[in-house]
Structure 1
C-alpha cells in the first residue's frame, strides 16, 4: 500500500514485518489491514502505518466500554461472546468482528462452580471490556447491570422470564433455569 493512498475496511496494507499497525488498522495472520475507509499514512522512521478516516467512523471497542453480544460457546473456565455492538451505539456496527472472552473469575463476586449455570450458547449478554489488545478482548459481568439480558430455555427453546425469586422460568414448558442475570434482563434492547 502506498503512502497517501485511499483504502477501505479489510484491505491489505502490508505485513506486520513491514509495519506496526496503529489507528484505523488491525492485524491478522501476520498482515496489517485497514479497519475503516480513509487515507493510508506511513511513518518511515518507526515503520508504523495508520488510516486517517474519511467517513463516519464505526465505534471501536476499547477498555471500559460496555458491549452487547451473543454467547457463542461455554467452556470449563471461559465464555466466548460474539460482540455485536457497543452500549450507546447499538444502531452502529463495530469496526471489526470481535470475539470477547469472560473468564470464570470475571463472572461475579460469588464463587462460580459451573459456567453453564451462568451462561448458555445463544444468550444475549451485556459485558464490560477490561482488557483490549489486538486479538484479545477480555470481558467482565461483575457489576449489577452486566450479565444475561435475554435467554431461551435449554429444553424447548421458549423464552425465559424472570421470576420473583430471581430465577428464570420458561414461558412455554415452565422449566426453571439459572443465569448471571443483568438488572436489565427482559427489558427491550435499544
Structure 2
C-alpha cells in the first residue's frame, strides 16, 4: 500500500485503517483527499487499526502534477478519442516514477475540435508538452494541448531522424523530406 495516491483513490476499509491527515472516510472506506505519499502508522492502542495518512512533502525531490502544471510526456498509445501518455517531467523537473495522463479529443486544439483526428496529432513515442487541466481519477491526469505552446516537441521519423517542425500541423523528416501530421508546439526562438 506504500506509494503515491491521488485525490479520491481508495486506500482501504475503515476496518483495516483509521483515517489520518490527507484522508477522509466515506461509506466504510478511507480515501486520499490530497496527492502525496501513502504512510501507515501503527496504533498505540491495542486492537485499534493502524492510521493511514498522506504525506505531501516527504522529500524536496517530490514533484507532483497539479492543475495548471505544464508537463512533458511521452505518448504511449492512441485511439480515435484519447491519447495516453506517461508524464516524465513536471515543469523543468524530471519525475522519478512517471504518472499516467490522457488527452481527450476535445482537449487537443482550442478551435475546430470536431475536425480533430487523434492519429494526425500524435504518434506513440512522440514527446509532447501539455498542461494538466484536471486531476482526473485514480488512473490518469487529464491534460490539454489546446494552446499554441503545447503539443509535439519531439518526434522521430520512420527513417529514425529527429523531425523538424514546418507548421503548426506538420513535421518533416530531414533525411527523406517526408511530412507527417502532428499537433506541433510553437517553438520559442
TM-score by length of 2: 0.71
User: How far did 1:22 drift?
Assistant: 4.1
Unaligned 5+ residue runs, structure 1?
Answer: 2-8, 27-32
Task: Tell me whether 1:123 sits opposite 2:116 in the alignment.
Answer: no
RMSD over equivalenced CA pairs, Å: 3.3
For residue 177 of structure 1, the aligned residue among 180, 183, 189 is 180
For residue 56 of structure 1, the aligned residue among 60, 70, 88 is 60
1: CA distance between counterparts of 2:106 and 2:168? 25
For residue 3 of structure 2, the aligned residue among 4, 10, 29 is 10
Spell out the pairing of 1:31-70 with structure 2 (5 A cutoff). Answer: 33-34=38-39, 49-51=53-55, 53-70=57-74
Maintained 8 Å contact 1:161/1:169:
yes
Unaligned 5+ residue runs, structure 2?
Answer: 5-9, 15-29
**Which sits farther off after the overlay, 129-138 or 144-153?**
129-138
Task: From the superposition, tell whether residues 180 and 16 of structure 1 become closer, same or farther in structure 2 (CA, over 3 Å).
Answer: same
User: How far did 1:57 drift?
Assistant: 4.4
Match of 1:104 in 2: 105
Task: Tell me whether 1:146 sits opposite 2:147 in the alignment.
Answer: no
Task: Tell me whether 1:20 sits opposite 2:21 in the alignment.
Answer: no
TM-score by length of 1: 0.70
1: CA distance between counterparts of 2:118 and 2:146? 14
Task: From the superposition, tell whether residues 54 and 79 of structure 1 become closer, same or farther in structure 2 (CA, over 3 Å).
Answer: closer
